[in-house]
């Protein structure tokens, strides 16, 4: 047992940065084998590094089982800071490469349903046409998952529906939110199940059928609930809760179940002949779509390029 607390100087001498990189991969993958593959090491070498770090911090960092590894309380504490360090290393790497060539880097994008089907693909296509050497990683999740990851440096940017200013999540982290456009919701269904002419169907009539709604913790669920409330209607009774675009499209192709989707997300599937718009909502019913960045860190060069492409796709000035 250590008799004295660590100082930044003696901890820096004790730990090697490469150990932290390996620890981060084990934490992220939940597997010694996958961490070994990603770092180009053998599994015994990864296990040895983990044991060295556990000896250094005088406690277990992971709980091992036949399904992989899970962080202990000490491992989670260490992991929070290590993720920030790895993010700073990515920023440093991108800045050095950008200074040297201006054509490389890595941007990790968190996205929501409102951006994943149209806005984000068009932005990535434009970015890659200009700078093929920039690596883009896309992670789709809920707002409750994406904003903490952005604040910790695990993501560089989040693109999608912006939280309403009154919601706690809008102020919980040191983030800035930039509006790109105001979006409406529409009700859609699978085209082969809704074969009547494309006249709109009253919401009250549609409510009696089977629905897909956003999960309760999603800000878009609030927009959906407000839509029914403003129409003087209760929420549908036969509901599947999902934010998965692929799952929702699959359900609507297989069954006459309908869903509320942002117009920008539904349009590519309508144009492809998969979905049909059954009802429109009031302009702005979905809310503001935009992007979020950390307010306490300058974006990496790759992320700045991504933002410029995002704004260009939306017809806005850089």
Distance of CA 60 to the CA centre of its chain: 30
Rounded Cα gap, residues 125 and 119, in angstroms: 10
Rounded Cα gap, residues 227 and 217, in angstroms: 17
**Predicted pLDDT at 72:** 95
CATH no. for 185-285 = 3.40.190.10
The answer, as to whether pTM is greater than 0.75, is no
**Predicted pLDDT at 22:** 95
Within a 13 Å sphere around the CA of 219, how many CA atoms are in the beta-carbon half?
Answer: 27
The H-or-E segment that residue 19 falls in is: helix 17-29
**Predicted pLDDT at 2:** 58
**Predicted pLDDT at 3:** 57
Residues 248-300 pLDDT 10s: 999 999 999 999 988 888 888 999 999 999 988 877 677 888 999 999 888 88
Q: Do the domains at 103-182+288-314 and 185-285 have one common CATH topology? A: yes
Is domain 103-182+288-314 given the CATH code 3.40.1160.10 in the classification? no
Average pLDDT, the chain: 87
Listed by start position, the domains of the chain span: 8-81, 103-182+288-314, 185-285
Give phi and psi for 313, each to the nearest 5.
Answer: -60, -35
What's the pLDDT band for 114 if we cut at 50, 70, 90? low
- The DSSP string of 201-255 is PPHHHHHTSEEEE--TTSHHHHHHHHHHHHTT-PPPSEEEE---HHHHHHHHHHS
CATH no. for 8-81 = 1.10.10.10
Residues 38-66 pLDDT 10s: 999 999 999 999 999 999 998 999 998 88
Q: Is 175 helix (H, G, I), strand (E, B) or coil?
A: strand
């Amino acid at each position: 047992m250590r008799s004295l607390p660590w100082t930044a100087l003696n901890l820096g001498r004790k730990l090697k940065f490469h150990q932290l990189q390996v620890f981060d991969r084990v934490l992220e993958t939940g597997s010694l084998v996958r961490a070994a593959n990603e770092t180009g090491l053998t599994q015994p070498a990864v296990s040895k590094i983990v044991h060295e770090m556990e000896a250094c911090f005088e406690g277990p960092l992971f709980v091992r089982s036949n399904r992989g590894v899970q962080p202990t309380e000490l491992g989670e504490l260490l992991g929070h800071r290590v993720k920030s360090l790895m993010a700073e290393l990515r920023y440093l790497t991108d800045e050095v490469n950008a200074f040297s060539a201006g054509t490389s880097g890595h941007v990790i994008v968190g996205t929501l349903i409102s951006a994943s089907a149209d806005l984000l693909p068009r932005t990535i296509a434009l970015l890659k046409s200009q700078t093929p050497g920039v690596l883009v990683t896309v992670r789709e999740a809920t707002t409750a998952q994406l904003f903490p990851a952005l604040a910790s440096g695990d993501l560089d940017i989040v693109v999608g529906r912006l939280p309403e200013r009154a919601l706690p999540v809008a102020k919980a982290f040191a983030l800035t939110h930039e509006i790109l456009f105001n979006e409406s919701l529409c009700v859609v269904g699978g085209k082969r199940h809704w074969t009547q002419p494309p006249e709109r169907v009253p919401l009250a009539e549609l409510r009696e059928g089977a629905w897909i709604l956003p999960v309760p913790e999603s800000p878009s669920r609030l927009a959906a609930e407000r839509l029914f409330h403003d129409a003087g209607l209760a929420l549908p009774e036969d509901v599947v809760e999902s934010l998965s675009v692929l799952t929702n499209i699959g359900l609507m192709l297989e069954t006459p179940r309908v869903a509320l989707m942002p117009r920008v997300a539904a349009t590519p599937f309508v144009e492809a002949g998969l979905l049909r718009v059954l009802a429109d909502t009031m302009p702005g019913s979905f809310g503001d779509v935009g992007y979020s960045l950390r307010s306490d860190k300058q974006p990496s060069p790759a992320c700045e390029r991504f933002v410029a492409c995002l704004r260009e796709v939306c017809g806005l000035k850089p």
